[in-house]
């Protein structure tokens, strides 16, 4: 792959978007390669995924604006659907995904971070949805995921001004989980991914499913979903192993079965 690198070890996968000359901007080739990388991660047995950008300036600075020239409503909608499909794969993935935000996460880059399950930011990271400055709105899920994460009032302020915010402001509004020094970013993400990878993979996947599906249900229906998934856990070898390990006062050895 030309613009994506993939490394998998110790049940952890690392995807790096590598277009440093363009500040890792998204284009059709990046979307295609990201989709291929996600296929490989799914086959690998990885239990956690980290996504970051190459270099120390940008996570992903946005979509490649040059590729917007000449688009009409139909071709723009096709591009939107393409980006949404790839990002929805991340959001709906049973493998928990951590965005290691190592610089600018603007436009499509912010939308990529929002599609991940968790976000850890370097202290110099910057976030924003500046599409209105181009006479546009986000097209890769930003209007919806940002609203669900920080609430409609804060989301609309960012969406309608195009204002960029720093990492500490992103932490204050709940856009990121944690802010760390730049030289600690990858070790913090790897530590979190390692902690997740030690847990029962099916339980982790069902926790993600309960949160993702339950968010759009009434509380009663969401509790029914939780009950259904809780019951399903007891059909797994991992639940038997986890319970017995607790009784034996030892660490569980989860197989994913």
CB 174 within 8 A of CB 149: yes
Task: Establish if 233 belongs to a structural domain.
Answer: yes
Instruction: Encode pLDDT of 136-177 as tens digits.
Output: 999 999 999 999 999 999 999 999 999 999 999 999 999 999
**What is the distance between the alpha carbons of residues 248 and 238, in angstroms, rounded to a whole number?**
15
What CATH number does residue 217 fall under?
1.10.12.10
Residue 21 has pLDDT above 90, yes or no: no
Read off the pLDDT of each residue in 31-43 and give the average, rounded to a whole number. 96
Give 1's pLDDT tier (boundaries 50, 70, 90).
Answer: confident
**What is the distance between the alpha carbons of residues 234 and 100, in angstroms, rounded to a whole number?**
34
Which of 40, 131, 169, 226 is flagged as catalytic? 131
Which of 33, 40, 111, 157 is flagged as catalytic? 111
Instruction: Encode pLDDT of 54-97 as tens digits.
Output: 998 999 999 888 889 999 999 999 999 999 999 999 999 999 99
Tokens of 108: 């499509």
Question: Is residue 131 annotated as a catalytic residue, yes or no?
Answer: yes
As to burial, measured by CB atoms within 10 angstroms (0-12 exposed, 13-18 middle, 19+ buried), residue 146 is buried
Question: Is residue 195 annotated as a catalytic residue, yes or no?
Answer: no
Instruction: Encode pLDDT of 188-239 as tens digits.
Output: 999 999 999 999 999 999 999 999 999 999 999 999 999 999 999 999 999 9
Which of 165, 104, 113, 159 shows the shortest CA–CA distance to 136? 159
Give the model's pLDDT for residue 159. 98
Identify the domain boundary among 170, 197, 224: 197
Which of 152, 73, 62, 76 shows the shortest CA–CA distance to 107? 62
153 with 34, same domain: the answer is yes
**What is the distance between the alpha carbons of residues 7 and 190, in angstroms, rounded to a whole number?**
12
77 with 89, same domain: the answer is yes
User: What is the domain range of residue 214?
Assistant: 201-248
């Amino acid at each position: 792959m030309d613009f994506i690198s993939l490394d998998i070890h110790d049940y952890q996968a690392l995807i790096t978007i590598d277009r440093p000359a363009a500040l890792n901007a998204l284009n059709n080739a990046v979307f295609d390669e990201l989709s291929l990388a996600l296929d490989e991660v799914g086959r690998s047995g990885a239990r956690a995924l980290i996504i970051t950008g190459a270099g120390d300036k940008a996570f992903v600075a946005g979509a490649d604006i040059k590729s917007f020239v000449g688009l009409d409503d139909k071709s723009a909608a096709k591009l939107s659907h393409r980006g949404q499909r790839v990002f929805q794969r991340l959001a709906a993935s049973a493998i928990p995904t951590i965005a290691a935000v190592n610089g600018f996460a603007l436009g499509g880059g912010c939308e990529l971070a929002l599609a991940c399950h968790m976000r850890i930011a370097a202290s110099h990271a910057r976030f924003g949805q500046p599409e209105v400055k181009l006479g546009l709105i986000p097209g890769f899920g930003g209007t919806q995921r940002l609203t669900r994460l920080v609430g409609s009032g804060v989301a609309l302020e960012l969406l309608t001004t195009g204002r960029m915010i720093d990492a500490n402001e992103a932490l204050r509004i709940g856009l990121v989980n944690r802010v760390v020094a730049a030289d600690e970013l990858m070790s913090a993400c790897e530590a979190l991914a390692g902690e997740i990878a030690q847990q029962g993979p099916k339980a982790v996947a069902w926790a993600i499913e309960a949160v993702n599906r339950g968010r759009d249900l009434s509380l009663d229906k969401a509790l029914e979903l939780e009950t259904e998934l809780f019951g399903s856990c007891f059909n797994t070898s991992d639940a038997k192993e986890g319970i017995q390990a607790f009784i034996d006062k030892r660490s569980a050895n989860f197989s994913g079965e």
